[in-house]
Structure 1
Amino acid sequence: MSWDDGEADREWRCLSLIWDHAPGTAPRPLRRETADGHPVVVMERVPGLPLGGGPLSAAQNDSLGAALGRLYRIPVEHIAAAGISERRFGPSTLPPALTAWLQEACDLSPCQEPALVADAVDAAREWLFRPGLLPPPQLTGLGIADLNPANVLWDGRICRLVDFEYGGLTDPAYDLADHVEHIAARLSGVFDPEALPAAAGASADARERMRAYRPLWAVHWLAMLLPGNGGFRRNPPGTTESQARHVTALIG
């Protein structure tokens, strides 16, 4: 709805690039407009219903993995030529952002189990400061950056992706970790953390690096689910506690 973070530019550039190099994976971009001072990206309507509510079938997993793999194989030089930079909250920006967010004072009294959440936040802070915590990113492909299951349309045969306002240059292992940890997918078990990267063509090394990135995204969702943030208001009571337990388990 605004020009502030360049979402409309990202959406248009990503859709245009995908139409050139992986047509049929996402909507075809048609034109850009401005309405009442707001940016508008007009795109074709694609068939299908959004995923969500339960685990993917084998056919859905294979089709979604194939769609992600097509994005990851778009050559870096074409991504750069399209003027597309690193995705929003990419590997260079998310860790310092999380460190800053978790340093802010937060009243945990609205939580069901404030002590549990406080312990998880403390553990997350300590984890973020560990040296050699994350693998060096390999920015080799295009990522959608927001694989909320509602952004995947399934027509009974093919998965197509929508919503590229945060998309950009990425490390596929980093993006896959983001996808399997997305709160809308994790709570209902939509994405299988092993089957989805396999379907996307991730190598054994990429899958290992994905596992190393998963705690980072789990901590991200813990931060989003703290009182005062939108995630806390939008999700049922107890979601923050569930995420706190998940973070603690991943960090070990």
Structure 2
Amino acid sequence: MTSQWTTHGVELLPDTVRKRFRPDADGDPAREWLALTLLDRHAPGLAPRPLSLVGRTVIMTRLPGVPLRGTELTRTQLAALARATDRLLRAVPPGAAAVLPERRWYVRDSVAAIRRRAVQPSMPALAAGVRWLAGAEAGLLAGAATAVPVLGQADGNLANFLWDGADVRLVDFEDSGRSDRAYELAELVEHLSAWVDTDLDAAAFLARFALSPAERARLLECRRLFALLWLVFLSTDPATEARNPLGTTARQADRLLALLDAAVR
């Protein structure tokens, strides 16, 4: 079976997967190959095992399981998702993660996209988010520079987390690279897939991670950033809005305002 996405086509064979990247798209086979190679070395079994890189095609093993997106997560699945995420963020030693290329859509990219698209905020929540960002940008960038580096998957879509009945494994690393733990956790819990068609209990999920006070503070700021970024996409990109249920933009606005009012816990 072959499925076509924006940046690549995926051919699912009985035991392997062929991921062919389009030359005219942003998908990066080198990033995917590097991440899979590192995880095969440091956390075998967590992600597909890389088999070969031929031109713009990555061939890897096929993992068992079904996507968590679109499901009602059980307590067991939530625990497995947290274990897999924690394993990913601890897998690559900081020294090795520090020399990786910066992940796509890291702080600077996200801030730039917001500023570019939200020149004239069209709704109160968006205006509030832009005002917040004016005061938070320097701290977000400084946190990225000083945090312990990790390999970031750079895609919190729950469709990329496969449940096999006992464990969760991860796929899709085409945007991966150097990141930090708070940023990656924030992306996962603020991704639209976590609440639009899946019931991810963000508080219960995040409670499974032992975060330092500094990480907790950064986590809230990063959640605000991702919530604002999603609201920008939903309110300025008709294609993003059309892909989601009616009312998603209004719900995202409420989500952002709640995070702007939240305190560090």
TM-score (norm 2): 0.80
In 1, Cα distance between equivalents of 2:143 and 2:96? 22
AA partner of residue 216 (structure 1): L
AA partner of residue 180 (structure 1): V
Corresponding residue to 2:30 among 1, 5, 9: 9
Does residue 21 (structure 1) correspond to residue 42 (structure 2)? The answer is yes
Equivalent pairs, count: 235
Tell me by how many angstroms 1:249 deviates.
Answer: 2.2
Tell me by how many angstroms 1:133 deviates.
Answer: 5.3
Q: Which has the higher contact order (CA 8 A, sep 6+)?
A: 1
Does residue 78 (structure 1) correspond to residue 96 (structure 2)? The answer is yes
In 2, Cα distance between equivalents of 1:231 and 1:248? 20
Corresponding residue to 2:117 among 101, 105, 129: 101
SS in 1 for 2:101: coil
Residue aligning to 1:48: 65
In 2, Cα distance between equivalents of 1:62 and 1:239? 27
CA contact (8 A) 1:26 1:160 kept: yes
Tell me by how many angstroms 1:80 deviates.
Answer: 4.8
Residue aligning to 1:218: 227
CA contact (8 A) 2:117 2:236 kept: no
CA contact (8 A) 1:17 1:79 kept: no
In 2, Cα distance between equivalents of 1:55 and 1:192? 10
AA partner of residue 94 (structure 2): V
Corresponding residue to 1:186 among 182, 195, 209: 195
CA contact (8 A) 1:65 1:201 kept: no
In 2, Cα distance between equivalents of 1:8 and 1:171? 22
Pair 1:63–1:43, CA change in 2 (3 A): same
- In proportion to residue count, which structure has more strand? 2
Corresponding residue to 2:208 among 199, 224, 229: 199
Residue aligning to 2:179: 170
AA partner of residue 61 (structure 1): L
CA contact (8 A) 1:49 1:154 kept: yes
Tell me by how many angstroms 1:143 deviates.
Answer: 1.3
Tell me by how many angstroms 1:58 deviates.
Answer: 2.2
CA contact (8 A) 2:153 2:175 kept: yes
Pair 1:28–1:64, CA change in 2 (3 A): same
Tell me by how many angstroms 1:234 deviates.
Answer: 0.8
Tell me by how many angstroms 1:136 deviates.
Answer: 1.5
Deviates more, 1:152-161 or 1:142-151: 142-151
In 2, Cα distance between equivalents of 1:175 and 1:43? 24
Long gaps (5+) in structure 1 = 107-116
Long gaps (5+) in structure 2 = 1-20
SS in 2 for 1:136: helix
Residue aligning to 2:3: none
CA contact (8 A) 1:56 1:191 kept: yes
Pair 1:141–1:49, CA change in 2 (3 A): same
Query: 1:205-242: per-residue Cα shift (whole Å, max 9, x none)?
Result: 42332122111000010011124343112112211111
Tell me by how many angstroms 1:123 deviates.
Answer: 1.4
Corresponding residue to 1:87 among 96, 103, 107: 103
In 2, Cα distance between equivalents of 1:192 and 1:203? 21
Question: Percent of aligned pairs with the same residue?
Answer: 39
In 2, Cα distance between equivalents of 1:25 and 1:199? 19
Tell me by how many angstroms 1:195 deviates.
Answer: 2.5
TM-score (norm 1): 0.84
CA contact (8 A) 1:65 1:198 kept: no
AA partner of residue 216 (structure 2): R
CA contact (8 A) 2:97 2:149 kept: no
In 1, Cα distance between equivalents of 2:214 and 2:175? 26
